[in-house]
C-alpha cells in the first residue's frame, strides 16, 4: 500500500472513544472524540465493563461522522490503525474487533498500535515538530516515564515510576480533596486559587541520582496534611503545594535526562502534559538551559485518535512490521517495540 493513502485511527484503550484520519500529504483530515468521563464520574473512576459497552455503542457512528468530516468514503482508507494496548482488555478488544471488521470489509491494512507510541509521537501532529533523537517525558494516568526516542519504533526507557503514575497521583489526591472524577484537571483548577508557603511537600527522589519517579508518598503526605474539617482555602493551598511538588519533580528529572543524554530536544506527552503549571515550569527551565521544548496541543496530550492514526501512518511510512489479526494486550512494555 502506498504510504500516502489515509490512515484511520481508532483509540478505545480506556474511557475515550476516539477516531481520526491522518494523511501523509495533507496531515490530519478529521478527528472526533467521545468522552465517557461523565458516565464513570458516578463511580469515582473508570468501570471497565461499562467502558467496553459504551465503546460498542459509539464506535460506528463516530467513524461514520469522522469519514464525513474528512470528506472520505470507507474505500478511501488505506489502513486502519487501532490501539492494541496497553489498556483495559475489554475496551481494547472493541477497537480491535471494529478495526479488523473495517479492514476485512474494505481491504484496508490492519495496524495494531502501542498506546504509548501514540503519545510519544503526538507532537508530530503539530507544525513545530521535533527532529529525532529527543528526550520524551510521558506523563499519563497509567504511565510516567522518561524515554530516549531515536526514531519511530525505537525507544529506550531512561526512567519510570516505581509506584503511582503522575496522573494517578493527581487523580487520587483530587479524590482525597473531595473533587469529582476525573480529578487531575479539577485539582489544577483548585490549585490556581491556592497560596504558596502554607504547605510544602517533598520532591520525591530528586535528592539522589537516577531518572526514576515515585509519587505514592506524596499522596500520603497530602492525606496527613489535610485536616478533617479543611475549609475551601486550605484545600486550595494543599492542591497548590501538591501541584508544585509534582511539576517541580518532573521538571528536575527532565533537565537531568537532557543532561545525561546530551540531547537538547524535549517532548512532553500524555494527559498530565495538559497541566498549565507543568508547561510554565518546563518553558522556563528549557529557555534557561538551551533546550528546545515540544508539546502537543492539550487535546492531543490526553487520549485521542489522531495520535493513533499518526503512529499507524508513521509505522507504514517506515516500513515497520505489523502483526496480523486482532491484538489486544492489557500489559505491553514499550521496550518490546525496539527491534533487537
Residues that bind Zn ion (CB under 5 A): 140, 303
Using rule CB under 6 A, residue 86 touches ligand KG4: no
As a whole number of Å, the end-to-end CA separation of the chain is 26
Nearer to ligand KG4, 160 or 261 (CB): 160
Using rule CB under 6 A, residue 70 touches ligand KG4: no
Nearer to Zn ion, 54 or 303 (CB): 303
Strands (E), 140-178: 144-151, 154-160
Nearer to ligand KG4, 103 or 190 (CB): 190
Q: Which of 188, 251, 255, 282 binds ligand KG4 (CB under 6 A)?
A: 188
Per CB under 6 A, which region of 1-9, 120-128, 177-185, 326-334 contacts ligand KG4?
177-185
How many C-beta neighbours within 10 Å does residue 76 have?
Answer: 17
Using rule CB under 6 A, residue 118 touches ligand KG4: no
Using rule CB under 6 A, residue 6 touches ligand KG4: no
Q: How many residues bind ligand KG4 (CB under 6 A)?
A: 19
Per CB under 6 A, which region of 36-44, 152-160, 180-188, 193-201 contacts ligand KG4?
180-188
CA 227 distance to own-chain centroid: 33
How far apart (Å, rounded) are the C-alpha atoms in residues 335 and 243?
Answer: 30
Using rule CB under 6 A, residue 45 touches ligand KG4: no
Which segments of the chain does DSSP mark as H helices, in order? Answer: 37-41, 48-69, 89-106, 115-121, 166-176, 183-192, 216-225, 232-261, 276-288, 298-301, 306-317
How far apart (Å, rounded) are the C-alpha atoms in residues 268 and 119?
Answer: 9
Q: Are 179 and 186 in contact (CB under 8 A)?
A: yes
Q: Which of 24, 45, 142, 217 binds ligand KG4 (CB under 6 A)?
A: 142
Q: Which residues of 154-165 are buried (b: 16+ CB within 10 A; e: fewer)?
A: bbebbbbbeebb
Interface map 269-288 toward ligand KG4 (x if CB under 6 A): -xxx-xx-------------
How far apart (Å, rounded) are the C-alpha atoms in residues 202 and 224?
Answer: 13
Q: Which residues of 121-139 are buried (b: 16+ CB within 10 A; e: fewer)?
A: bbbbbeeeebeebbbbbbb
Per CB under 6 A, which region of 106-114, 129-137, 181-189, 283-291 contacts ligand KG4?
181-189
Using rule CB under 6 A, residue 184 touches ligand KG4: yes
Per CB under 6 A, which region of 60-68, 100-108, 140-148, 255-263 contacts ligand KG4?
140-148
Nearer to ligand KG4, 78 or 305 (CB): 305
Amino acid at each position: 500500500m502506498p504510504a500516502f493513502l489515509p490512515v484511520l485511527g481508532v483509540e478505545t484503550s480506556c474511557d475515550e472513544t476516539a477516531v481520526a484520519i491522518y494523511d501523509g500529504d495533507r496531515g490530519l483530515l478529521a478527528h472526533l472524540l467521545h468522552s465517557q468521563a461523565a458516565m464513570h464520574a458516578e463511580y469515582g473512576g473508570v468501570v471497565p465493563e461499562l467502558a467496553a459497552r459504551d465503546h460498542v455503542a459509539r464506535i460506528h457512528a463516530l467513524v461514520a461522522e469522522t469519514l464525513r468530516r474528512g470528506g472520505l468514503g470507507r474505500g478511501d482508507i488505506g489502513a486502519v490503525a487501532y490501539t492494541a494496548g496497553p489498556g483495559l482488555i475489554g475496551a481494547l478488544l472493541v477497537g480491535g474487533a471494529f478495526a479488523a471488521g473495517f479492514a476485512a470489509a474494505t481491504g484496508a491494512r490492519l495496524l495494531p498500535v502501542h498506546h504509548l507510541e501514540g503519545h510519544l509521537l503526538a507532537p508530530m501532529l503539530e507544525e513545530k515538530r521535533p527532529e529525532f533523537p529527543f528526550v520524551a517525558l510521558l506523563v499519563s494516568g497509567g504511565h510516567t516515564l522518561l524515554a530516549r526516542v531515536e526514531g519511530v519504533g525505537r525507544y529506550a526507557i531512561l526512567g519510570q515510576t516505581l509506584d503511582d503514575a503522575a496522573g494517578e497521583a493527581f487523580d487520587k489526591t483530587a479524590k482525597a480533596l473531595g473533587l469529582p472524577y476525573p480529578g487531575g484537571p479539577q485539582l489544577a483548577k483548585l490549585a490556581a486559587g491556592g497560596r504558596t508557603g502554607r504547605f510544602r511537600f517533598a520532591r520525591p527522589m530528586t535528592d539522589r541520582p537516577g531518572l526514576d519517579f515515585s509519587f505514592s508518598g506524596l499522596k500520603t503526605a497530602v492525606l496527613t496534611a489535610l485536616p478533617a474539617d479543611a475549609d475551601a482555602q486550605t484545600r486550595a493551598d494543599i492542591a497548590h503545594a501538591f501541584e508544585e511538588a509534582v511539576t517541580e519533580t518532573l521538571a528536575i528529572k527532565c533537565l537531568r535526562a537532557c543532561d545525561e543524554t546530551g540531547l537538547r530536544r524535549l517532548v512532553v506527552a500524555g494527559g498530565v502534559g495538559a497541566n498549565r503549571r507543568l508547561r510554565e515550569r518546563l518553558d522556563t527551565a528549557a529557555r534557561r538551559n538551551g533546550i528546545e521544548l515540544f508539546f502537543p496541543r492539550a487535546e492531543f496530550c490526553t487520549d485521542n485518535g489522531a495520535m493513533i492514526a499518526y503512529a499507524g501512518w508513521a509505522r507504514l511510512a517506515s516500513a515497520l512490521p505489523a502483526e496480523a489479526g486482532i491484538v489486544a494486550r492489557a500489559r505491553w512494555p514499550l521496550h518490546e517495540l525496539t527491534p533487537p
